[in-house]
Amino acid sequence: WQLIAPRDPSKPPTVFHWLPIIGSAVGYGNDPLNFFLACREKYGDVFTFILFGRRVTVALGAKGNNFVLGGKSTVLNAEDAYTHLTTPVFGKDVVYDVPNEKFMEQKRFVKVGLSTENLRAYVGMIEDEVEEYMNNDANFRVYGMNDINDWGMFDVVSVLQEITILTASRTLQGKEVRSKLDKTFSQLYNDLDGGFTPLNFLFPNLPLESYRKRDRANVKMTEFYVDIIQKRRQAGADSDHDMIAALIKQTYRDGTPLKDHEIAHILIALLMAGQHTSSATGSWALLHIAENPDVGEALYQEQVKYFGTPDGNLRSMTYEELRELPVLDAVIRETLRLHPPIHSIMRYVRDDVSVPPSLAAPSKDGVFVVPKGHYVLASPSVSQMDPRVWKDAQRFDVSRWTDPDGVAAQAFKAYADENGEKIDYGFGAVSKGTESPYQPFGAGRHRCIGEQFAYLQLGTLISTMIRKVELRLKDPVPAHNYHTMIVMPKKPRNILYRRRKFD
Ligand code: HEM
């Protein structure tokens, strides 16, 4: 029918599709990045596509990111977009199950648990966990050879998923979770995770066993955490550096302390928010390091330069030192540029909203209006690989970050200057503003609060691994698998490794 229906010129163009309800679900679901690029060619930076009956208006580029992420939360709303996915997994009364002001307070509480003092304590713990993991042949040698000088092979995602949960539980989640990271906890985690999929996002209420398992796991996981919280409360003063210790002490502005089940649900939310994002980023980083032995060598030499001791060993790092390693920092940034784990950031449109003409407009004097009831979507993946901003945009090129005067960095700087962005070559993302082409951690009021922790976790993990092994890749870096909530490398994703001689 859309062939004959006249188009309302005040609305963004709708992507052509044959099937009324399904719309563009297949193209978007299989490869959102190429879908967006093809649509941009045809329709420009702002267009609407149909996704199983939902109308999703995409706004591309740095200006599109600004439109979606910098919008007022009363108009472009995250709770309405996500709660049906997240509340059954995290539990009630936290995150998108509460009004945004309350969630903002909860984010503030979590920041206490991510204080610099806590982060300092985590470096050594993560180092220990990774070393112990790698020393255990049964873990690390997924397949392959046992002789020290031979090359072995491991599935990078499986290894990274295990290391990520081990390190997150040892640090943020706390010693009780770490010690229970046996079959029971992993089973509950897997059941929750099985309920955190694109299917759950698209169809919140299917009568499937995985949905029932998810609900049972939420109840059990909540009981598990509440038990820990109550024991901690009974024990009195808590000097642990973890999230439970931090959250127990927090009170809302109206004086009410956080309830046990709220703390439990925040811990589940953090577990889910950090697990796939970090394990995916770590996997992509190791794949690129393995593909570029010169990058692996540069990372290793950086370790030797900063941490080498007269007896030829490498000493432990401190948090402050970790933040000052340019090659390591650039590897993580470049990995997140090419593989931001979250390709689509969505908001529900509560009231009609005009698109700024500088982003897109139907004519010189007109404006597009995105109607109430649509979703809006920003995609950092597109702006982070835009050849208009990045030289050799598709190429993994660490030097674009390490060399602020290099051609690639200059291109980004020119863009940033033109748009009033401040480039911060320090630790973490480039810009805190909502209008930036580089936003792997989002922007605005829903911006990630786990960024510093993720850099610390990934930085310590990569350094500890690179100290022990050389990495190589037999095949090219795998393509993206977009069928999971977080973008993962497609199988096979095996990395060859060889222990360093002195090991
Ligand atoms: C929000 C990415 C790790 C906790 C976000 C958002 C992005 C993001 C893009 C914005 C979502 C939106 O606007 O709808 C990442 C990446 C990570 C990472 C790339 C790792 C490489 C973590 C970790 C934690 C965490 C480790 C917890 C310790 C959160 C929280 C939010 C958030 C609480 C706020 C959600 C909101 O305000 O609506 N993250 N994240 N993230 N992330 Fe992360």
Distance CA 121, CA 294 (A): 31
Distance CA 440, CA 345 (A): 10
Helix intervals (H) in 76-115 = 78-90, 100-113
What's the 273 CA to ligand 1 centre distance in angstroms?
A: 6
Which pLDDT score, from 0 to 100, does residue 38 have? 97
Which pLDDT score, from 0 to 100, does residue 503 have? 45
What's the 290 CA to ligand 1 centre distance in angstroms?
A: 27
pTM: 0.93
To test the pocket of ligand 1, the residue of 80, 96, 277 to mutate (highest count of ligand atoms within 8 Å of its CB) is 277
Would you call 234 helix, strand, or coil by DSSP?
Answer: helix
Cα Rg, the chain, nearest whole Å: 23
**Which protein residue's CA is at the shortest distance from atom 35 of ligand 1?**
446
What's the 365 CA to ligand 1 centre distance in angstroms?
A: 38
Atom of ligand 1 nearest to the CA of 336: 19
Which pLDDT score, from 0 to 100, does residue 426 have? 36
To test the pocket of ligand 1, the residue of 97, 343, 441 to mutate (highest count of ligand atoms within 8 Å of its CB) is 441
Atom of ligand 1 nearest to the CA of 81: 14
What's the 146 CA to ligand 1 centre distance in angstroms?
A: 38
DSSP code for 487: -
Which pLDDT score, from 0 to 100, does residue 436 have? 82
Which pLDDT score, from 0 to 100, does residue 421 have? 54
CA geometry: angle at 278 spanning 390 and 383, to 5°? 20
Tell me how far the alpha carbon of residue 228 is from its chain's centroid: 27
Would you call 10 helix, strand, or coil by DSSP?
Answer: coil
What's the 1 CA to ligand 1 centre distance in angstroms?
A: 40
User: How many C-beta neighbours within 10 Å does residue 380 have?
Assistant: 27
Distance CA 196, CA 485 (A): 7
**Which protein residue's CA is at the shortest distance from atom 39 of ligand 1?**
448
**Which protein residue's CA is at the shortest distance from atom 37 of ligand 1?**
446
Which pLDDT score, from 0 to 100, does residue 425 have? 37
What's the 189 CA to ligand 1 centre distance in angstroms?
A: 19
Distance CA 452, CA 469 (A): 25
Q: Which of 458, 157, 186, 154 is nearest to 335 (CA)?
A: 458
Distance CA 141, CA 390 (A): 38
Helix intervals (H) in 292-394 = 293-307, 319-322, 326-338, 380-384
pLDDT tens column, 356-373: 999 999 998 899 999 999
Which pLDDT score, from 0 to 100, does residue 4 have? 56
Which pLDDT score, from 0 to 100, does residue 428 have? 38
Both tokens of 34, joined, read: 């190429």
To test the pocket of ligand 1, the residue of 266, 342, 448, 462 to mutate (highest count of ligand atoms within 8 Å of its CB) is 448
Cα distances from 292 to residues 117, 287, 289, 384, in angstroms, run 35, 9, 5, 21
Residues within 6 Å of ligand 1 by CB: 78, 107, 172, 270, 273-274, 277-278, 281, 341-342, 345, 440-442, 446, 448-450, 453-454
What's the 63 CA to ligand 1 centre distance in angstroms?
A: 21
pLDDT tens digits, the chain, 503 residues: what are they?
455 556 788 999 999 999 999 999 999 999 999 999 999 999 999 999 999 999 999 999 989 999 999 999 999 999 999 999 999 999 999 999 999 999 999 999 999 999 999 999 999 999 999 999 988 777 765 555 455 557 888 999 999 999 999 999 999 999 999 988 877 888 899 999 999 999 999 999 999 999 999 999 999 999 999 999 999 999 887 778 899 999 999 999 999 999 999 999 999 999 999 999 999 999 999 999 999 999 999 999 999 999 999 998 999 999 999 998 999 999 999 999 999 999 999 999 999 999 999 999 999 889 999 999 999 999 999 999 998 888 889 999 998 887 766 544 555 555 556 655 554 433 334 444 678 888 999 999 999 999 999 999 999 999 999 999 999 998 999 999 999 999 999 999 999 998 887 54
Q: Which of 443, 479, 496 is nearest to 66 (CA)?
A: 443
